[in-house]
Structure 1
Amino acid sequence: MTAGCNNEDKKDESKKPNDPALKYQAEISRTSFGVPHIKANDEGSLAYGVATAYAQDNVCLMADEFTTVSGERSKHFGPTATRQTSDLPNLQTDFFYRIINDDEAVKAAWNAHSAPMKAMIEGYVAGYNDYLDKTGMNNLPDACKNGAWVRKVNEADMVKLLRRYAAEASSGQFIPAIVGAAPPGQNPLMPALPPKAGMNPMDPDYWTAMRERTGSNAVALGKDATDNGQGMLLGTPHFPWRGALRFYQLHLTIPGKLDAMGAALGGMPMVNIGFNQNLAWSHTVNNSAHFTVHAMPLDPSDPTKYLFDGKPQSMERKTITIDVKGPDGVVRPQSRTFYSSQFGPMVVIPGQLDWTGGMAYAINDANMGNHRMLEQWYGMNSARSLDEFKASIDRTVGLPWVNTLAVDKEGSALFMDVTVVPHVTTAKQNACVPAPFKPLAARGLFVLSGATSACAPGTDSTAPQSGIFAGASLPRLTRNDYVQNSNDSAWLSNPHAPLAGFPDIVSVDNVEQFGRTRLGISQLEKRLAGTDGLAGRRMTVAQLQGLALSNRVYYAEQIMDDVLTLCRGDRNAQAADGTSVDLTSACARLNQWDRTVNLDSNIGYLYFTGLWERIVRVPGIWAVPFNPADPVNTPRGLNIDNVVAANTVRQALASSALDVARMGVSQDARWGDVQVSTRGTRQIPIHGGKGTDGVYNAIGSVPGADGKLEVIYGTSYIQTVSFDKNGPQAQAMLAYSQSTDPASKHYADQTERFSKKEWITQPYTEAQIKADPAFSTMTVSRKAVATPNAKP
């Protein structure tokens, strides 16, 4: 806490909560691990307190994100530099955010918010700006101290941030395609890259990889599945450990209105994942598509005119200017003209979505019309029952790209796949998807004819937004045993009650499931059948936590016996690059490996993961192929009786062995010696492994400078919540800790706990909060004085 904040605390101690001389007033109490409990009497004051607390821990992160969504990175950091969390150059992201966040769009978004949500946005802006004033630019953390890019913000900046989150799973994945779109004969800002398998957003594998990278697991257990007959929830979102998509723990209270605790993304003055007195919930990145692409035939005389319902329509031209710092340090304006249709911005992906003299493509991002996210989470935070919670989601349809799993204290378990999805029915899919794009549509990616209004997304009068499905028409399931999701479609939320028959843009059924889905269902089914070797047939909190962090590698369990069979043959194999490799060491480590990624596991996992990524999509590799009638147990086993398949596996293992050798890892190393999270001079060992390998505790890491693997995404805010006669009982960990400031005592404290699998009991009631050994409290406020109107 800054000196300024402490002075404010002393000055305001005698003020009453409803003092009319104060525009905003919030009480911020801190407990162990720096978790803020923020209490206020109104929405604006609550958000004021959230912004203050968040800035105390992550002001540089927030300032960086405001710079990004305002399209100002090239001005301060140069056009070719990239962010820590992205490989896209600043010039591309600047133009993209200027395209989606133009003045007209931001103003429309602001006007669409209700008065209480506008008050929250205004309060957050005031809290952030006051923090900068009271702290002083010279006293900020080193990462942004006296940074020219750190500035006060206004309501428009907050709206831009919300729109950035909304677009994350839609146009936010098309940045090069949007910024690189230019008519034939005109040079694009930056040439779009040619398509590469899994590397562009019109490849279904791209979205599979994205859900694995920023996906999640969640389990909601009903009264028939828990040891005390009440609801129990597990939430394990897998999000980046860097950047604005980091979660932040907090507890929000407006007496008589809401009392919710959990975690939120930066800039969100609401709990995104958490619990209140009556229920608990989590989210998983869902499988629905949130955009459509439209193939528009062009006027032969002008590639910037398209034919719609038989009539030529001129594309909208918009010239956007950004400031760009040159190599000489001088900032100069740079302008480009971009084109859009009635559906949205033009896009180009060479070889797949080309802008030719006869055809062009535009993206329709349904979430660009979603201005209801704050309203949605407000309704969820304040829900007094599961029915009220569900009704809020159905009514608002404000969740941009996440499923919801929830339980209540009475023991009902709920799954809802209700998000913003373009209204494309199966009939419209059949009629409007051009033949070359039908295989994509079958996997949930839609290119529609843009020549006729009949092929535009349809309208449902009961939906809160034109062109999307109404909430009540989307998948949901309520059970007394369980529902679960690990980023697959709604189909197998519970295998005893499949959710099938929805339009492909919403949910695809009868398809192979992720390893995490299969592992989760298998563990739940065995627990409830009493066949997992543990006592009883119901779940305890400890067992649910064990399920979350068992670190089993599901696909290793499916194929390792066959790999070891091959290991008993010829130990010499040829890698993909032609190198001859002795497999003796690799096979020895795999034979000794316990098929988990716990800290004390040996490095057999390194050999396995390199092997698996090379064979996972090889046709004919499975001994038992996928069977829609047995989706939890298939595919399985390697087809090693087939000479070609066996040689493919041996070659993959040889190539993986070369990768491990290049890393320079000791053959005696443990997994905890290899995968780490660096905090200053300390390298904290991190358990877990790739979600694509079927690890429930999904952790993604990249090679570090010292030959180790540095964690960059994965399990983030992990919580279990149960209920008893005393209310919610929550245990949680924020895997990367609360603060991004190396000088903070909360920079690594929870990371240490996560490394040790030491869950942290969350103080929720006022008595629990005040009894916490690290309890402290302060009051922050702003006087009710006239301020310049800086609204959109």
Structure 2
Amino acid sequence: MTIPFKNSHAPRLLVLAGAVALAMTAGCNNEDKKDDPKKPNDPAMKYQAEISRTSFGVPHIKANDEGSLAYGVATAYAQDNVCLMADEFTTVSGERSKYFGPNATRQTSDLPNVQTDFFYRIINDADAVKAAWEAHSAPMKAMIEGYVAGYNDYLDKTGMNNLPAACKNGAWVHKITETDMVKLLRRYAVEASSGQFIPAIVGATPPGQNPLVPAVPPKAGMHPMDPDYWAAMRERTGSNAVALGRDATDNGQGMLLGTPHFPWRGALRFYQLHLTIPGKLDAMGAALGGMPMINIGFNQNLAWSHTVNNSAHFTVHAMPLDPSDPTKYLFDGQAQSMERKTISIDVKGSDGVVRPLARTFYSSRFGPMVVIPGQLDWTGGMAYAINDANLGNNRMLEQWYGMGSARSLDEFKASIDRTVGLPWVNTLAVDKEGSALFMDVTVVPNVSAAKQSACVPAPFKPLAARGLFVLSGATSACAPASDVNAPQPGIFAGTSLPRLTRGDYVQNSNDSAWLSNPRAPVTGFPDIVSVDNVEQFGRTRIGITQLEKRLAGTDGLAGRRMTVAQLQGLALSNRVYYADQIMDDVLALCRADKDSQAADSANACARLNQWDRTVNLDSNTGYLYFTGLWERIMHVPGVWAVPFNPADPVNTPRGLNIDNAAIANTVRQALASSAQDVARLGVSPDSRWGDVQVSTRGTRQIPIHGGKGSDGVYNAMGTVAGTDGKLEVIYGTSYIQTVSFDKNGPQVQAMLSYSQSTDPASPHYADQTERFSKKEWITQPYTEAQIKADPAFSTTTVSRKAVATPNGKP
């Protein structure tokens, strides 16, 4: 233990600890009703875990206590991804500039190290980390301590000289402390809030002072103040999930599909694992790097997945300033000084010498100051601060523990309502009895509809309608309200947030709670939580359309209920939804222009005419022409022949308004420009989609199906241009699972699209990527018998001895 903090919130933490203890004793599972007498349990050991590996390198980790379980998780994860984890600890500690220079960027970010270093030093200052540690219950502290011990022991036993090539003998690879783990958890918590404002926070300086990084006006669509930014972010790091109840499945029990779209690089990569504490926990699925808990998965009784939600998790506050001092703001009629703090980071110069770099940052009662040129400017009369509700969320581990150990859907739901520890994701779940659950219960600033109306200044009201809330910072009446039933000040209580339980289905693809099931719209919540009567994403519409056709028996398949194979087909059919909405009109325009087309447009029309409107590996490259066209016209006013109608949100908007001469001309120009893009990419006319979109593994380029989520592709993929005319996948469908239930318990098939390990020397660097490319789902061993019967089964015990104290006691 390296954080000697005293607990200043003992009464509240006793309640939390009791709640967690109740949740942990509640969840049990299959064969293990007691401690397994065969499992090593040496009292001389501080930590002891059994790690069994099955096919594709999936670890099944069993221990008798929380600390030992986390010790095993850290060991297994480091065996597969130690370099990735070391890199992330360097980031959250604000030390990238020290080792890699101030101007370099990470593989997963275009922000220079100097910006991310100062940002993480701002949000992870000593006081904040201390308070966050104190807020964790005793079992969760034990997990954090166990993870630290497991990671450090791995480094000791392996030796720096024997680490994978990416971090072998790296000066930036070092042992960690509980402090580092708390910093990592806080990094995950703010991913969808402060983490999107890094340049705005680091660049916030009073008028007349030079910012750390010269301020430049944001590009359209690329900044948090742009109305389309948050929708684009959910498309990029979003998800689909479908929960089917007893009235929709072939056997009358629950069935779940989860397809999170997450980065294929960095710590937001998922990792498959199975965690067991006999009598308490037996959950399997996937977790983010450094998480000693299942984030998405199943247990004996239920299964769940998450989708990035539509709620806002922060507010921005416009604060009038004291005319005599731009670092004083007026609040409830009184001038208050901003807090100023000088932060120093170490920076490696071009000469290789490391020198300190210090800057002064300012914050208010709401949080750190932000500056976005032309939108949120710090002037002599006004300044802006961001209030990030998730900086007070220290309940994530507790939340996923409660979910994973739940014995029923009621316990599962109660855990979420009580803890409110999910930072920015919806939850969809099913149980073996056939109930389907949707919950949009996350950390959201408590801004009622009335407060929104009264407190959002007129210039910012259009942004509020798009999910960005700028409130008056002049009065306490406009601060987020507190609810005695919420676990932290300033957020909504869990029981006041959206949910829906059905016997047929619920679904979500990053839209609001409104159309979780269009037969029972979820309405009446403040805009900051969930917006009604707005146009839905293409992925939402194609998901609902396919579900409704299946249940109506109008999809050309037998029956009116869903099988596992049909659910998997929905996930990976690779249909391009918006192509179905506009391609007939595009081709009609092509035919009308046939005799007058330029070569570029004629080529685009020919390829689109041959395209099957999917992004399967054997589809032709017509998709490249389509996506370039759609990207250019999707936001053009008046482009739709049938505009969005809130009374028919699944089927509108649709059709291109090509009878309008201006729209028709815009489409023609977009076709020609798209064809020019394809020509520059250098794609052969005979290429298939699988020849173009790939994931490179060493010298092997594995073909990857799927396409852009913004094109309405359920199997969403994001790419960057490679050096050889290929498109390299960098995010998209990641841990994809289907879970059904029968008399033998959960029946699970899943794939981790990018495979378990980031080490090119590992046998599990590309094995699941190959399976994903072929759409070959992998049956997951869950019970003891299934695990031991796996052809790749192996097992080992990892441990650390207890250290004797002066009185001889461990």
Q: 1:787 to 1:204 in 2, by over 3 A?
A: farther
Residues in 2 aligned to 1:318 and 1:37: alpha-carbon distance in whole angstroms:
46
Residues 294 and 449, structure 1, Cα contact 8 Å, conserved in 2: yes
Q: Deviations over 1:71-108 (max 9, x none)?
A: 00000000000000000000000000000000000000
SS at match of 2:28: helix
Look up the match of 1:791.
809
**Among 263, 276, 279, the residue aligned to 1:253:** 276
Q: Distance in 1 between matches of 2:609 and 2:220?
A: 33
Distance 1:629 1:11 in 2: 55
Would the alpha carbon gap of residues 547 and 626 (structure 1) be closer, same or farther in structure 2, given more than 3 Å must change?
same
> Structure 1 pair 571/660, CA: closer, same or farther in 2 (3 Å)?
farther
Q: Give the 3 Å change call, closer, same or farther, for CA 216–5 of structure 1 in structure 2.
A: closer
User: Cα distance, 1:13 vs. partner?
Assistant: 15
Query: Hey, what's the Cα distance between the residues in 1 that align with 2:226 and 2:179?
Result: 34
Residues 787 and 776 of structure 1, relative CA distance in 2, 3 Å threshold: farther
Q: Deviations over 1:480-499 (max 9, x none)?
A: 00000000000000000001
| CA pair 7-658 structure 1, distance change in 2 beyond 3 A | same
Corresponding position of 1:579: none
CA gap of 1:279–1:95, structure 2 versus 1, over 3 A, is same
Structure 1 pair 69–29 and aligned structure 2 pair: CA distance change class (3 A) = same
User: Which stretches in structure 1 are left out of the alignment for 5+ residues?
Assistant: 577-581
Verify the 8 A CA contact 2:39 2:50 in the aligned structure 1.
no
Which deviates more from structure 2 when the two are superposed, residues 377-386 or residues 566-575? 566-575
1:441 to partner: Cα distance:
1.1
- Taking a change above 3 Å as real, the CA distance of residues 113 and 41 of structure 1, as seen in their structure-2 partners, is same
Structure 1 pair 788–635 and aligned structure 2 pair: CA distance change class (3 A): farther
1:595-617 CA distance string (max 9 Å, x none): 00000000000000000000000
| C-alpha displacement of 1:468 | 0.0
Check 1:680–1:546 CA distance in 2 against 1; reply closer, same or farther (3 A cut). same
Separation (CA, whole Å) in 1 of partners of 2:245 and 2:605: 44
1:704 paired residue number: 722
The CA deviation at 1:589 is 1.0
Instruction: Give the TM-score, by structure 2 length.
Output: 0.94
Give the match's secondary structure for 1:403. strand
Alpha-carbon deviations, 1:444-489, whole Å to 9, x = none? 2100000000100001000000000000000000000000000000
Contact 2:27/2:406 (8 A) holds in 1: no
Distance 1:696 1:6, change over 3 A: closer
Deviations 1:642-676 (A, max 9, x none): 11110100100000000001111111100000000
Q: Would you say how many aligned residue pairs link Structure 1 and Structure 2?
A: 787
Residue 16 of structure 1: CA displacement? 6.2
Q: Post-superposition shift, 1:6?
A: 30
Change in Cα spacing, 1:575 to 1:284, as seen in structure 2 (3 Å) is: farther
What's the offset of the Cα at 1:10? 28
Query: Are the equivalent residues in 2 in contact too, given 1:13–1:779 (CA < 8 A)?
Result: no
Distance 1:60 1:790 in 2: 38
| 8 Å contact from structure 1 (residues 6, 778) kept in 2 | no
Q: Is the 8 A contact 1:600 1:671 kept in 2?
A: yes
Separation of aligned partners in 2, 1:723 and 1:197: 47
Q: Larger deviation: 191-200 or 528-537?
A: 191-200
3-state SS of 1:339 partner: strand
Q: Show the counterpart of 1:563.
A: 586
Contact 2:162-2:168 within 8 A present in 1 as well: yes
- Does residue 364 (structure 1) correspond to residue 382 (structure 2)? The answer is no
CA drift at 1:9: 23
The change in CA–CA distance for 1:13 and 1:441 in structure 2 (over 3 A counts) is: closer
Further displaced range: 734-743 or 561-570:
561-570
Counterpart residue number, 1:742: 760
User: Do 2:328 and 2:336's aligned partners in 1 also have CA atoms closer than 8 Å?
Assistant: yes
Change (3 A) 1:243 1:575: farther
Question: Closer, same or farther in 2 for the Cα pair 1:523/1:92, shift >3 Å?
Answer: same
Report the alpha carbon displacement of residue 3 of structure 1 after superposing the two structures with TM: 38
Distance between the aligned counterparts of 2:751 and 2:760, measured in 1? 19
**How much does 1:228 deviate?**
0.1
- SS of the counterpart of 2:647? coil
State the shift of 1:17 in Å. Answer: 3.0
After TM superposition, give the deviation of residue 510 of structure 1 in Å: 0.2
Query: What secondary structure, in the 3-state scheme, does the structure 2 residue paired with 1:274 have?
Result: strand
- Contact 2:29–2:299 under 8 Å retained in 1: no
Provide the secondary structure at the position in 2 that maps to 1:11.
coil
Alignment root-mean-square deviation, CA: 4.1
Aligned-pair CA distance for 1:12: 18
Distance 1:763 1:788, change over 3 A: farther
Query: 2:526 pairs with 487, 491, 503, which one?
Result: 503
Kept after mapping to 1: 8 A contact 2:27/2:407: no
Structure 2 CA distance for aligned equivalents of residues 560 and 607 of structure 1: 11
Distance apart, 1:429 and its partner CA: 0.4
Rounded Cα–Cα distance in structure 2 between residues aligned with 1:791 and 1:694? 62
After TM superposition, list the pairs within 5 Å mapping 1:394-433 onto structure 2. 394-433=417-456
Residues 786 and 631 of structure 1: CA distance in aligned 2, closer, same or farther (over 3 Å): farther
Contact 1:180 1:192 in 2 (8 A): yes
1:7-64 Cα distance to aligned partner (Å, 9 max, x none): 9999999996332100000000000000000000000000000000000000000000
Residue in structure 2 matching 1:174, options 170, 180, 197:
197
CA 1:768–1:197 in structure 2 vs 1: closer, same or farther (change >3 Å)?
A: same
String of CA shifts for 1:702-722, please: whole Å, max 9, x gaps.
110101000000000000000
Instruction: Encode CA deviations 1:282-319: one digit per residue, 9 max, x unaligned.
Output: 00000000000000000000000000000000000000
Provide structure 2 residue ranges, at least 5 long, that are not aligned to the other structure.
1-23
2:86 counterpart of 1:63 = yes
Post-superposition Cα deviations, 1:376-432, rounded to whole Å, max 9, x if no partner, equal 000001000000000000000000000000000000000000000000000000111
How many angstroms does 1:570 deviate by? 2.4
Give the superposition deviation at 1:571.
4.4
Tell me how far apart the structure 1 counterparts of residues 397 and 165 of structure 2 sit (CA, whole Å).
Answer: 32
Q: Deviations over 1:689-735 (max 9, x none)?
A: 00000000001111101010000000000000000000000000000
Alpha carbons of 1:10 and 1:278: their partners in 2 closer, same or farther (altered >3 Å)?
closer
When residues 381 and 343 of structure 1 are mapped into structure 2, their CA distance, relative to the original with a 3 A threshold, is: same
Whole-Å Cα distance in 1 between the matches of residues 588 and 102 of structure 2? 53
Q: Specify the SS of the correspondent of 2:33.
A: helix
Per-residue CA deviation, residues 507-533 of structure 1 (Å, 9 max, x unaligned), is 011000000000000000000000000
Q: Distance in 1 between matches of 2:480 and 2:27?
A: 52
Residues 116 and 573 of structure 1, relative CA distance in 2, 3 Å threshold: farther
Distance 1:788 1:127, change over 3 A: farther
Q: CA deviation at 1:193?
A: 2.8
* Distance of 2:547 and 2:298 partners within structure 1: 22
CA contact (8 A) 1:155 1:791 kept: no
Asked if structure 2 preserves the Cα contact closer than 8 Å seen for 1:8 and 1:780, the reply is no
Q: Alpha-carbon deviation of 1:790?
A: 22
Q: CA-to-partner distance for each residue in 1:622-649, whole Å, 9 max, x for gaps?
A: 0000000000000000001111110100
Contact 2:83 2:167 in 1 (8 A): yes
Instruction: Flag the 1:260–1:789 CA change in 2: closer, same or farther, 3 A.
Output: farther
1:304 is paired with a residue whose SS is: strand
**Distance apart, 1:442 and its partner CA:** 1.6
Structure 1 residue 199: Cα displacement: 1.1
Change (3 A) 1:447 1:734: same
Structure 1 position 346, deviation (Å): 0.1
Aligned to 1:480: 503
Alpha-carbon offset, residue 586 of structure 1: 1.4
Secondary structure of the equivalent of 1:572?
coil
CA contact (8 A) 2:28 2:280 kept: no
* Matched position secondary structure for 2:671: helix
Identity of aligned residues (%): 90
Q: Whole-Å Cα distance in 2 between the matches of residues 450 and 289 of structure 1?
A: 18
TM-score w.r.t. the length of structure 1 is 0.97
Give me the whole-angstrom Cα distance separating, in 2, the residues matched to 1:8 and 1:99.
48
8 Å CA contact 2:27–2:280 kept in 1: the answer is: no
Q: State the SS of the aligned residue for 1:544.
A: helix
Q: Is the 8 A contact 2:48 2:68 kept in 1?
A: yes
Deviation of 1:588 (Å): 1.2
